[in-house]
Each structure stands twice: as structure tokens, then as C-alpha cells.
Amino acid sequence: MFDLSEKTAVITGGGSGIGKAIAILFAKQGADVAIIELNQANGEAVVKEITANGGKASCFACDVSKQVEVKGVFDDIHTKTGRINILVNSAGISHIGNLEKTSETDFDRIFTVNVKGVYNCLLEAVTKMKLGGGGVILNLASVAGTLGIPDRFAYSMSKGAVLSMTLSVARDYINQNIRCNCISPGRVHTPFVDDFLKKNYPGQEQEMFEKLSKTQPIGRMGTPQEMASLALYLCSDEAGFVTGSDYNIDGGFMTLK
């Protein structure tokens, strides 16, 4: 089950956090993984880890917010592998602040990466998938996209847009054999969380980590590997009847609070 052999999987933001976990798992399941990363060093480190374990992977340096760069990279991947079967839109950035604490610069930065970046990659992937007879797209949304969370104004806006784009693509391309879903994680223990705590709560990192962990009814944060396991199912042939769906993976945050 969940065999990705003979498939090319493009994963944006595959150099760290959830994207890294997805890249490693997909390669383990046989996919030829193409990592798109702004931080090329991080992406190359993941490629090295994958290939050292017998997997296939390559890294492409790219700013997903720049359409010309994205088109060039997708063209390169398609030329190199002959196909693009899977796209995982994992690249994204965060912002802390309510409406009044969100500057125009902050808003534009979040929108450019989290919304336009996803749009750019969707556009190129759909174009290539149509040529190949279909494919699977998975977007990373967030519980913040559907539930009011304090001090996440711009971030929540962007993830709500990701959810809406997911539904639109699923509807518009179902007859081209393209499935499109998204997952909405709750709090996940990634390097972003550690950096956030170090920056905002110096000397209180462990105390605040425990506090944030307990906001999930299950009593802990999720792991990138748990997110990757759900991603693997949704991008595999076993999920062939699933499209236009958003999956909460949040330790009960959305339903049990």
C-alpha cells in the first residue's frame, strides 16, 4: 500500500519542518522527490539524507512568490523526469499579530508567499498534470484558516485562501483526473516553534512549550512525521476517491475544545 514508485513528487518548502518529513517519507515510498526551497542549503541537506538511504531526490532553489522562477523550475523538473504526478504545497511563512499590529508590509509579505506562492505552483502543476493525464495536489492549510485564533490575522487570511483555492481546483479539474485536497494542522513541533519560543520567551522556553502543547485537547503538539503520514495517504492511489476535502489533523483542537 501507499506505493509511490514511478511517480515524481514536487514538494515546496521541503527543506525543513513538515515539508522535510513529507519529502523523506515520499522518497521512502519510492517517489522521485523534487524539493523546491528558498533556502537551498536546507534543501540539499534533505536530498543528501534521502539519497544516503537509497532514495531519489533533487533540490531546486526557487522563490515560490515569483512566477517566472516557479515556471522555470517546474519546466526543469518536467524535462528531467518526464512527469509531475504529485504536488505538495508546504512552503509558507507565519506572522504574529492582530489587525492593528499587521502592517501593510506584513500583510503583503504573507499574501505574496502563502497565497500567491501556492497559486504559482498550482498553475504550473495543473498545466503539467493535464499533459500527463492527471495527478494529485495537496495543500497545507491550517486550523487558523477556519477557526478564529488570537493574533493570527494575516496568517489566518492566507490559510483561508489556501482552503478556498483547494476547493476551486478540485472542482475545476476533476474531469482532468486531478485530485486536490488540503490538510489543516494544529500546532506541530517544528523548528519554527522552537525559534518562536527562543525569540519571544527567552529563559521560559520549556514552560511556554508545555503551555502551547496543552492547547491541543490531546495534550501535546503534533509531529511533522504525523503530518507526513496523512499526506502520504492523500497523495497515494489508495485515496483515489478523495478530492475537494480538508482534513483537520490537530489533536482535537477544532472539535473537542
> ∠ CA(163), CA(166), CA(172), 5° rounding?
145
11 within 8 A of 19, measured Cβ to Cβ: yes
CB 194 within 8 A of CB 208: no
Among the listed residues 174, 96, 160, 98, the one whose alpha carbon sits nearest the alpha carbon of residue 130: 174
Residue 155 annotated as catalytic: yes
CA angle 248, 91, 240 (to 5 degrees): 50
User: Which of 250, 244, 231, 164 is closest to 14 using CA atoms?
Assistant: 231
Contact 43, 14 (CB under 8 A): yes
224 within 8 A of 15, measured Cβ to Cβ: no
DSSP label of 84 = -
- Which of these is catalytic: 155, 173, 201, 247? 155
Burial class (CB in 10 A: 0-12, 13-18, 19+), 215: middle
Neighbours of 1 (CB within 10 A): 8
Q: Which residues are catalytic?
A: 155
